Structure 1
Amino acid sequence: MGTCILKNVLLETGFEYDGDEIIRTKTGLFCVAIEDGKIKSVIPNKPKDVDAIDAKGLLMLPAFKDMHIHLDKTFYGGDWQAVKHRTGGVKGMIELEQQILPDMLKTSTDHAEKLIELLQSKGTSYARSHVNIEPTSKLQSLKNLQKALDNKKKGFGAELVAFPQHGVFYTNSAPYLKEAAQMDIDFIGGVDPYSIDGAIEKTMDFTVQLALDHNKGIDLHLHETGESGLKTVEYLIKKVNENPTLKNETFISHAFVLGRLEAAQQEAIAAQLGNAGIGIVSTIPFGRLIMPIPTLYKHNVTVMTGNDSIIDHWNTWGSGSVLQKTNVMAQLYGYATEFKLSRCLKLATGNILPLNDNGIQQWPKAGDTANVVLIDASCSAEAISRISPVKSLIHQGNIVF
């Protein structure tokens, strides 16, 4: 664990008002001491402290978290490859993966490390990575990724989802999932149980029971936008309510069906998700599909984001920046005021904000884990609006760059 003192650190201290309207974020320069991976103290600035590292007025924010990514299967770190023409939907992609994964596994550890370095350069020090568990890779993709994470553990942390990309039963991934559940993973994953496995209840019952048996969370890929998508969401809500230990440990990734519902249905489902403690992990799609994120927030649904694929056989659009994802969200929903922009930061930080809604400083404070970024911006609202450059990353007290 690192030990250091930073001076001339810019921190948010409150809001400035014009009547009832927040027009600016107040800031000040501070001295932040870090010891044994924790923030030891936040005290008035000591600019003449020769033993302190000069942060030069850069804004300190919580380090970012990419909560939906596939570190285990990426072309990043190798030659450029655009997506090839594909047919057959997700099942067609399963066939493609069965062909290409054996070669990808030969370099997957190295490519994962390169991808981690990209995320770090964008201010991310923690990720939730889905990792393929299926008959082609068996457990090798997991083992290769765990090696990469071990090599990068000084500057990066992760939680893992055992992900049956090729279906639980469509390719008989169940035995491998059972084995993976006994290893160092955190969530049981899934993908489109109706369109891939042909049965919502059978697949979801298996997933839920496996999570319960091994004290894991659940993170389900759900791309389906029709009736089957809605029924899957409703069935998962039912199962979580029947098994309260899964509350606040269950997530639906993508959940595109929510963007296809009428407003009244969105409100009703969002309320049920909030009551069940089921979170949504969205890549913030735009264009033909706009997710009802404001409605989810209204009903206290945890919303997180991630880059999903940076460059692989699925798509090539990922920048590695969750701050960019936050910027897209702000644009989509018209979060343009100082206050609303500042609130958007929680999407990138795993729901940590320097100021609460009343402008009271709540981060950083003594005892907080020292996962921080130093960014070239005057406040978090500007950082989001301009996707300001990250100048330094500290993970558990270790200076990454």
Structure 2
Amino acid sequence: MEKRLLIQQVNMNGRIGTLIIEKGRVAKFDSSEVAPGLEDSVWNARGMLLLPAFRDAHVHLDKAFPPDRWISRTPVSSILDQFQLEKELLASCKNRRKELAVRTLEAMLAAGTVEARVHVDIDPDIGLSHLELMLQLKEDFASRMAIELVAFPQQGLLRSQSTPYIREALRMGADLVGGVDPAGVDRHVELSLHTMFELAAEFDKRIDLHLHDPGHLGVYTIEKMLEYSAEAGMKGKVTVSHAYGLGEVDTGLVAELGSRMAGEEMDLATSVPIDTAMPPVPLLAKQGVKVSLATDHTGLDAWTPYGHPDILRRGRLLAEKQVWNDDLRMASVFQWMSNGSLELKAGDTADFVLVHALNAPHALAALPRRQLVCKAGLPVAGALWQGKSNDNAWNNIPERSESPDEYDSLFGDYR
């Protein structure tokens, strides 16, 4: 018999049973007793809840400030002023960029994120230095986290004359073409989008555009993106990030645009902002738009002092903003921060998180410590993780944390 991993007494969306994993994939979830083979690894979850591992759809690893000192931020009057402020503030952190990025990745993993789309700043001043670092980290973390890299011209694709740098970034291995505000920053919607789609076609890459432009200007930009996507045959290869303007116009217009986005399979990534309008996620999802949640900021940076690496916390913020207090809608949040349902099926990659919680709504409300974070059936982070991610790692993992969760008293005999 082929070697298997049996995780016993695991709570899979309300059912207690044994999760059987082979070659990094789910073989079966069995609610009856499963007798282990001589070669099998066995671990007892003691009733812990299994959640699908998380995906962060939009994050920056090259913008974090050090945690050991306060860097003051000052008010600005425009996004262009913000760009300049960010450059000035990050200059003092230049020599710690790798340290801070690694620290952020470890924090994201500890919170349950095993997939991330990382936007990497590129412009004539910094060249490709940030990308070189992120390519190295992508390789270093490959066994623990799947990372996509977006070549992102933060200062504006046209405004900063970054097109040749983005082209070189794509040659070097960036996965997506990025951009920012074709109207508000680049001042030329058509040319900015044309250049992005041209680069994507040249290198057979996807697109992810930062869109902060407000109201009808943002709507117009998405309409033009839809036209370019259809003309370029890029259905399913375009993402719009933020799209604040969709939260500032009539819901009828958003519903109509959402139907068009769904038809072209254009994705939306939102960080659930607290300081501006945000797209109406339930309405867009109802129209068939694929929505993904993102942290965007993972700590104190030039844009906000309120960032956090925990995507589950971001999911709770969405539920709070929508005033979702019932189980059904609270549980629905998980579809926007993972690639699967609340139940892993036979054939699924065994990417999951184990927590002390009674069910998914409880986990969303309580934000319990992630006890184990697993990628392809191997532990890669969490309170119980022992720092090894290989076939023998399960043999060394204790069944109970020495630092219990605040809510542990609720779990009775399964602990």
**Shared fold by TM > 0.5?**
yes
Whole-Å separation in 2 of the counterparts to 1:75 and 1:233: 32
1:72 maps to 62
Q: Specify whether residues 307 and 83 from structure 1 end up closer, same or farther in structure 2 by C-alpha distance, changes over 3 A only.
A: farther
Whole-Å separation in 1 of the counterparts to 2:91 and 2:98: 13
Amino acid at match of 2:64: T
Structure 1, unaligned runs of 5 or more: 13-26, 355-362
Whole-Å separation in 1 of the counterparts to 2:190 and 2:41: 61
User: Are 2:163 and 1:183 aligned?
Assistant: no
2:30 maps to 43
Q: Is the 8 A contact 1:82 1:316 kept in 2?
A: no
1:297-350 residue CA offsets vs partner (Å, 9 max, x unmatched): 111001111111122111121221111121122222233222222212112213
Whole-Å separation in 2 of the counterparts to 1:81 and 1:157: 31
1:365 maps to 345
Q: Determine helix, strand or coil for the equivalent of 1:399.
A: strand
Q: Specify whether residues 301 and 83 from structure 1 end up closer, same or farther in structure 2 by C-alpha distance, changes over 3 A only.
A: farther
2:397 maps to none
Question: After alignment, is 146-155 or 160-169 more displaced?
Answer: 146-155
Whole-Å separation in 2 of the counterparts to 1:3 and 1:208: 46
Q: Determine helix, strand or coil for the equivalent of 1:131.
A: strand
User: Are 2:15 and 1:4 aligned?
Assistant: no
User: Are 2:369 and 1:389 aligned?
Assistant: yes
Whole-Å separation in 2 of the counterparts to 1:347 and 1:28: 23
What is the Cα deviation at residue 287 of structure 1? Answer: 6.0
Q: Determine helix, strand or coil for the equivalent of 1:374.
A: strand
Q: Is the 8 A contact 2:215 2:244 kept in 1?
A: no
What is the Cα deviation at residue 186 of structure 1? Answer: 1.7
Q: Is the 8 A contact 1:105 1:140 kept in 2?
A: no
Q: Determine helix, strand or coil for the equivalent of 1:324.
A: helix
1:20 maps to none
The aligned runs of 1:190-205 (5 Å cut-off) are 190-205=179-194
Q: Decide which of 188, 212, 220 is 2:209's aligned counterpart.
A: 220
Provide TM-score, normalisation by structure 1: 0.88
Whole-Å separation in 2 of the counterparts to 1:235 and 1:31: 50
Question: After alignment, is 78-87 or 113-122 more displaced?
Answer: 78-87
Q: Specify whether residues 290 and 253 from structure 1 end up closer, same or farther in structure 2 by C-alpha distance, changes over 3 A only.
A: closer
Q: Specify whether residues 53 and 179 from structure 1 end up closer, same or farther in structure 2 by C-alpha distance, changes over 3 A only.
A: same
Q: Decide which of 309, 333, 345 is 1:320's aligned counterpart.
A: 309
1:259 maps to 247
Percentage of identical aligned residues: 27
Whole-Å separation in 2 of the counterparts to 1:201 and 1:134: 21
Q: Decide which of 72, 88, 94 is 2:83's aligned counterpart.
A: 94
Question: After alignment, is 380-389 or 299-308 more displaced?
Answer: 380-389
1:106 maps to 95
What is the Cα deviation at residue 82 of structure 1? Answer: 4.7
Whole-Å separation in 2 of the counterparts to 1:28 and 1:295: 31
Whole-Å separation in 2 of the counterparts to 1:325 and 1:101: 25
Q: Determine helix, strand or coil for the equivalent of 1:182.
A: helix
Q: Determine helix, strand or coil for the equivalent of 1:130.
A: strand
Amino acid at match of 1:32: L
Q: Determine helix, strand or coil for the equivalent of 2:126.
A: coil
1:359-390 residue CA offsets vs partner (Å, 9 max, x unmatched): xxxx3122211111001111112212332332
Whole-Å separation in 1 of the counterparts to 2:155 and 2:186: 9
Q: Determine helix, strand or coil for the equivalent of 1:60.
A: strand
The aligned runs of 1:338-377 (5 Å cut-off) are 338-350=327-339, 352-354=340-342, 363-377=343-357
1:359 maps to none
Q: Is the 8 A contact 1:110 1:148 kept in 2?
A: no
Whole-Å separation in 1 of the counterparts to 2:248 and 2:166: 31
Q: Specify whether residues 138 and 127 from structure 1 end up closer, same or farther in structure 2 by C-alpha distance, changes over 3 A only.
A: same
Q: Specify whether residues 312 and 52 from structure 1 end up closer, same or farther in structure 2 by C-alpha distance, changes over 3 A only.
A: same
Provide TM-score, normalisation by structure 2: 0.85
Q: Specify whether residues 182 and 136 from structure 1 end up closer, same or farther in structure 2 by C-alpha distance, changes over 3 A only.
A: same
Q: Is the 8 A contact 1:108 1:145 kept in 2?
A: no
Q: Decide which of 204, 207, 210 is 2:199's aligned counterpart.
A: 210
Q: Specify whether residues 227 and 154 from structure 1 end up closer, same or farther in structure 2 by C-alpha distance, changes over 3 A only.
A: same
Amino acid at match of 1:390: R
1:254-311 residue CA offsets vs partner (Å, 9 max, x unmatched): 0000011012211221122111211110111246524311110111001111111122
Q: Is the 8 A contact 1:102 1:137 kept in 2?
A: no
- Tell me the matched-pair count: 375
The aligned runs of 1:285-296 (5 Å cut-off) are 285-286=273-274, 289-296=277-284
Amino acid at match of 2:277: L
Amino acid at match of 1:149: K
Q: Decide which of 127, 136, 160 is 2:125's aligned counterpart.
A: 136
Whole-Å separation in 2 of the counterparts to 1:386 and 1:54: 23
What is the Cα deviation at residue 151 of structure 1? Answer: 2.3
User: Are 2:16 and 1:29 aligned?
Assistant: yes
Q: Is the 8 A contact 1:5 1:51 kept in 2?
A: yes
1:215-264 residue CA offsets vs partner (Å, 9 max, x unmatched): 111110011104432221111011112223x2222111100000110122
Whole-Å separation in 2 of the counterparts to 1:61 and 1:319: 20
1:111-132 residue CA offsets vs partner (Å, 9 max, x unmatched): 1110011111111111111001
Question: After alignment, is 147-156 or 209-218 more displaced?
Answer: 147-156
